[in-house]
């Protein structure tokens, strides 16, 4: 099974940006943890991080035909981007929306997800563990393409 892990704006600053909110683990730390878990499932992971909305959309377009599923932390684009949702629906790759924080307990503008209606599920509020929980859920729900 092939899974893409896509990260949006400012996630390259994890561990430095507001550690009291987002934790001290870096994106590289999360990637190491996910690779270890993926091995137990026989899953191959690819990782990317994009600060620009267009760059993230291009990465989503590239998923068509090459991945069985995706984990996506679109950062602030979660709350505003119809274009990202449309790209996800268009490529027909099942995905799990991931957030480090519980977006539903934060500021009002962060409590709505444009992506959730198209997602298999949403995992939020468990810090870096959110990624591992999302991978477990995705693997349990998705049958790899032949």
Q: Is 112 a catalytic residue?
A: no
Q: Compute CA distances 98 → 42, 138, 146, whole Å.
A: 21, 11, 26
Concatenate the DSSP letters of all residues of 36-63 into one string.
Answer: HHHHHHT-EEEEEE-SSHHHHHHHHHTT
Give me Rg for the CA atoms of the chain. Answer: 14
Catalytic entry in 22, 50, 77, 131: 22
Strands 95-99 and 69-73: parallel
How many residues comprise the chain? 146
- Contact call for residues 11 and 77 (beta carbons, < 8 A): no
Catalytic entry in 79, 99, 112, 131: 99
Q: Is 22 a catalytic residue?
A: yes
- Contact call for residues 14 and 27 (beta carbons, < 8 A): yes
Residues 6+ apart with CB under 8 A from 13: none
- Which residues are catalytically annotated? 22, 99
């Amino acid at each position: 099974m092939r899974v893409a892990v896509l990260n949006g704006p400012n996630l390259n600053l994890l561990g430095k940006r507001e550690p009291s909110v987002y934790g001290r683990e870096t994106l590289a730390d999360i990637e190491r943890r996910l690779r270890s878990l993926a091995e137990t499932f026989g899953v191959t992971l690819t990782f990317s991080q994009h600060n620009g909305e267009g760059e993230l959309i291009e990465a989503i377009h590239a998923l068509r035909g090459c991945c069985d599923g995706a984990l996506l932390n679109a950062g602030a684009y979660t709350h505003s981007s119809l274009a990202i949702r449309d790209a996800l629906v268009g490529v027909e790759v099942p995905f799990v929306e991931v957030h480090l924080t519980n977006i539903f307990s934060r500021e009002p503008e962060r409590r709505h997800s444009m992506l959730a209606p198209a997602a298999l599920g949403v995992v939020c509020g468990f810090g870096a563990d959110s990624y591992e929980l999302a991978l477990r859920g995705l693997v349990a729900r998705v049958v790899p393409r032949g």
